[in-house]
């Protein structure tokens, strides 16, 4: 599955693949081997991409029809589908995730993002009001969506193609030109996407790809560039805050999808087996590296001991290993650097008084995987809600399970967080489910489910978890300048 180490991943600017003098290494988290060398964009390269995007905007991309742009998006989706297994291989090489996940989730959602936004712009409508004034005047007020111009897109490593295309597709759909920077950890599928876009014949300069790091590098050069109209970003809350400062002087629009410290709540009336399976998924999918994963699990006291024992037993059936092994159900963390961070929380949890129910360490394989970035899926109990491990995002395969006694108490504990991205609630009590969902301060609440996404719904977080909503018409609105036209008709 490892690609040839001689592969050089280049930027895609103004319709051409271009190299930089400076490169960095993209390493496999499975065994530390070289996946590819990646070009690092300097300030001049980022400027070139911005100028190319502005020229493409002036050349008329924004004036193309929605039907025309929908056809481009469909062609791009078809292009990914035609090279499906190459996308799977690139995603797996960069992340080490199980092949089945890359096929069913990452690449499938990359295609779905383009198809969904093609459909949405074909059927998009806008608001219109008939206005009557006191002097007998009649007016028609309608709202039209114009492109923002040039949109900067910065994405993280945890779901590389899925999160990259989640922003590229609607930005293009609404007539913007884009400069997109994938994470330095996962440049593979974004480069393949540039190849697909190039083969589809999208006008030069409409889509530009730059590679590189964040701070004092390509990411920061992009956010500081005065030629950008808006920034859309997915990543850590701290980075969101740095980007907000960078765009503040230019008062640029931002859309932020940031970190989380999500809770799962299991009431005693829940379908017990479904709740155990649900929390297993919500804690350990993608080795816990999904912004929506639950790191805090609250279980109603009468079923607490039984739930901890059942989740422990299911967690111990997870098979940690390499993507080449079909039995693998959990891959490595993204890098040794990220593993150091997760392991520092494993140590901190012990200092803070955690009881380790299962895991808590690094698996020993006795082969090349020992040079990778694996950790054991881990469950803790016994921490107070004030512990740092209960308040800070760890972003690894770990959850803490705590008992609770009343509905009001658990809602207060769930909401006592600096973050507000997602929650899942497990109960068979219909009214309670709706009642609790309404009182939880997150952008999304799942009832007896987790991670199910209808791409037409708003997605985003409250508090440190983000600014704004994307998805469906919310994406159409963010990637547009909404203009009110007021017409006197009588
Ligand atoms: P990160 O913030 O470190 O990096 C994300 C991207 O920002 C990368 O491309 C990076 O190069 C770039 N970057 C870093 N510093 C920058 C700067 N100063 N200026 C401009 N760009 C900069 O995040 P990560 O570690 O790649 O991803 C994990 C984080 O993403 C977690 O916190 C997770 O919760 C969050 N996340 C949120 C969502 C969501 O939808 N809310 C989805 C996925 C991941």
Any domain includes 167: yes
Same domain, 166 and 293: no
Query: Are residues 240 and 364 both part of a single domain?
Result: no
Q: What proportion of the chain, given as a percentage, has pLDDT over 70?
A: 99
Q: Is the pTM value of this prediction over 0.95?
A: yes
Tell me the best of 109, 214, 257 to mutate to test the pocket of ligand 1, counting ligand atoms within 8 Å of each CB and taking the most: 214
In whole angstroms, give the CA distance from residue 269 to residue 274: 12
Domain span at 388 = 263-447
Q: Residue 251: its pLDDT value, please?
A: 95
The region that residue 342 occupies, defined by phi over 0 for left and psi between -120 and 50 for alpha, beta otherwise, is alpha
Same domain, 294 and 427: yes
Q: Is 231 in the pocket of ligand 1 (CB under 6 A)?
A: no
**CATH classification of the domain holding 379:** 3.40.309.10
Average pLDDT rounded to a whole number, residues 216-236: 98
* 395 Rama class: left (phi>0) / alpha (psi -120 to 50) / beta: left
**Is residue 460 included in any domain, yes or no?**
no
Looking only at the bridges linking them, the beta strands covering 378-381 and 355-358 are antiparallel
276 and 409 both lie in a single domain: yes
- The total number of structural domains in the chain stands at 2
Same domain, 205 and 326: no
Residue 439, in any domain of the structure: yes
194 shares a domain with 48: yes
- Does ligand 1 come within 6 angstroms of the Cβ of 156? yes
Across residues 230-252, what is the average pLDDT? 97
Q: Is the pLDDT reported for residue 333 higher than 90?
A: yes
Same domain, 284 and 377: yes
How many CB atoms are closer than 10 A to CB 4? Answer: 8
Q: Residue 87 burial by CB count (10 A; 0-12/13-18/19+): exposed, middle or buried? A: buried
Q: Is the dihedral of CA 234, 87, 207, 38 positive or negative?
A: positive
Q: Is the confidence at residue 222, as pLDDT, over 90?
A: yes
- Tell me how far the alpha carbon of residue 319 lies from the centroid of ligand 1, in angstroms: 28
437 falls within a domain: yes
pLDDT digits (tens, 9 = 90+) for 457-481: 999 999 999 999 999 999 999 999 9
Are 287 and 373 in a shared domain?
Answer: yes
> Which is nearest to 172 in space by CA: 153, 187, 156, 191?
153
Ligand 1: which atom is nearest the Cα of residue 239?
2
CB 267 less than 6 A from any atom of ligand 1:
no
Residue to mutate (ligand 1; options 29, 157, 236, 286; most atoms within 8 A of CB): 236
At which residue do the structure tokens 């024992």 appear? 309
Q: Whose CA is nearest to atom 10 of ligand 1?
A: 214
* CATH code, domain carrying 173: 3.40.605.10
Asked if the model's pLDDT at residue 5 lies above 70, the reply is: no
Same domain, 236 and 320: no
In this structure, which residue's CA is closest to atom 18 in ligand 1? 215
Catalytic-labelled residue, pool 184, 220, 257, 470: 257
Q: Of all protein residues, whose CA lies closest to atom 35 belonging to ligand 1?
A: 235
Model confidence pLDDT, tens digit, residues 34-77: 999 999 999 999 999 999 999 999 999 999 999 999 999 999 99
Q: Tell me the pLDDT of the chain averaged across its residues.
A: 97
Model confidence at 191: pLDDT above 60 = yes
Tell me, yes or no, whether 244 lies in a domain: yes
Residue 4's pLDDT is: 46
Residues contacting 487, CB < 8 A, separation 6+: 139, 140, 141, 142
Which pLDDT value is given to residue 463?
98
Residues 302, 207 within the same domain: no
Any atom of ligand 1 within 6 Å of the Cβ of 236: yes
Kindly report the protein residue whose alpha carbon is nearest to atom 12 of ligand 1. Answer: 214
Tell me which residue has its CA closest to atom 9 in ligand 1: 183
* Residue 65 Cα to ligand 1 middle (Å): 33
The separation between the first and the last C-alpha atoms of the chain, rounded to the nearest angstrom, is 69
245-254, long-range: CB within 8 Å, 24+ apart, which pairs? 246/220, 247/223, 250/226, 252/228, 253/148, 253/229, 253/478, 254/230, 254/467, 254/468
Atom of ligand 1 nearest to the CA of 338: 25
Tell me the CA–centroid distance for residue 68 and ligand 1, in Å: 32
Question: Using a 6 Å cutoff on CB, does residue 223 contact ligand 1?
Answer: yes
Please name the residues in contact with 489: beta carbons below 8 A apart, sequence gap of 6 or more.
138, 139, 140
Residue nearest ligand 1's atom 37 by CA: 258
Is residue 2 one of the residues assigned to a domain? no
Q: Is 257 in the pocket of ligand 1 (CB under 6 A)?
A: yes
CB 8 within 8 A of CB 40: no
| pLDDT band, residue 2 (cuts 50/70/90) | very low
Q: Is residue 349 part of a domain?
A: yes
Is the predicted pLDDT of residue 257 greater than 80, yes or no? Answer: yes
> Cβ of 404: how many Cβ atoms within 10 Å?
20
pLDDT tens digit string along 146-189?
A: 999 999 999 999 999 999 999 999 999 999 999 999 999 999 99
Structure confidence at residue 6 (pLDDT): 67
Q: Specify whether 362 is located in the same domain as 475.
A: no
Residue 162, in any domain of the structure: yes
Of ligand 1's listed atoms, the one at least distance from the Cα of 246 is 19
Catalytic annotation present for 257: yes
Q: How far is the CA of 154 from the centre of ligand 1 (A)?
A: 8
- 194 and 304 in a single domain? The answer is no
């Amino acid at each position: 599955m490892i690609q040839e180490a001689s592969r050089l991943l280049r930027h895609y600017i103004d319709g051409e693949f271009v190299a930089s003098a400076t490169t960095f290494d993209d390493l496999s988290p499975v065994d530390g081997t070289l996946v590819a060398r990646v070009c690092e964009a300097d300030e001049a390269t980022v400027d070139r991409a911005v100028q190319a995007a502005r020229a493409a905007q002036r050349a008329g991309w924004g004036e193309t029809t929605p039907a025309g742009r929908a056809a481009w998006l469909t062609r791009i989706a078809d292009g990914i589908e035609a090279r499906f297994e190459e996308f799977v291989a690139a995603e797996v090489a960069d992340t080490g995730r199980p092949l089945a996940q890359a096929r069913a989730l990452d690449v499938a959602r990359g295609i779905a993002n383009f198809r969904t936004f093609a459909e949405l712009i074909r059927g998009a409508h806008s608001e219109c009001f008939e206005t009557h004034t006191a002097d007998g005047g009649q007016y028609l007020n309608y709202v039209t969506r114009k492109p923002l111009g040039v949109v900067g897109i910065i994405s993280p490593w945890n779901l590389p193609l899925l999160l990259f295309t989640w922003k590229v597709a609607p930005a293009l759909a609404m007539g913007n030109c884009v400069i997109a920077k994938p994470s330095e950890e996962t440049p593979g599928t974004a480069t393949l996407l540039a190849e697909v876009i190039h083969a589809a014949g999208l006008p030069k300069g409409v889509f530009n790809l730059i590679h590189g790091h964040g701070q004092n590098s390509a990411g920061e050069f992009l956010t500081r560039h005065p030629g950008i109209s808006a920034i859309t970003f997915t990543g850590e809350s701290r980075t969101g805050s740095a980007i907000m400062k960078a765009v503040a002087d230019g008062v640029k629009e931002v859309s932020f999808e940031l970190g989380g410290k999500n809770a799962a709540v299991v009431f005693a009336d829940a379908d017990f087996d479904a709740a155990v399976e649900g929390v297993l998924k919500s804690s350990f999918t993608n080795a816990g590296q999904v912004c929506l994963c639950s790191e805090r699990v609250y279980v109603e006291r009468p079923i607490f001991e039984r739930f901890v024992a059942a989740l422990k037993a299911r967690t111990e059936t997870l098979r940690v290993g390499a993507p080449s092994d079909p039995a693998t159900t959990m891959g490595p963390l993204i890098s040794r650097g990220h593993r150091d961070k997760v392991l520092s929380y494993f140590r901190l949890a012990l200092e803070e008084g955690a009881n380790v129910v299962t895991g808590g360490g690094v698996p020993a394989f006795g082969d090349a995987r020992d040079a990778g970035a694996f950790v054991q899926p881990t469950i803790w109990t016994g921490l107070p809600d004030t512990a740092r491990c209960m308040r800070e995002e760890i972003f690894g395969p770990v959850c803490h399970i705590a008992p609770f006694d009343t509905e009001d108490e658990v809602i207060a504990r769930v909401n006592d967080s600096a973050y507000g991205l997602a929650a899942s609630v497990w109960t068979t009590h219909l009214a309670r489910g709706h009642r609790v969902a309404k009182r939880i301060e997150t952008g999304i609440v799942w009832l007896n489910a987790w991670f199910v996404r209808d791409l037409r719904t708003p997605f985003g977080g409250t508090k440190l978890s983000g600014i704004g909503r994307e998805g469906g018409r919310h994406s159409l609105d963010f990637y547009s300048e909404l203009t009110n036209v007021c017409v006197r008709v009588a």
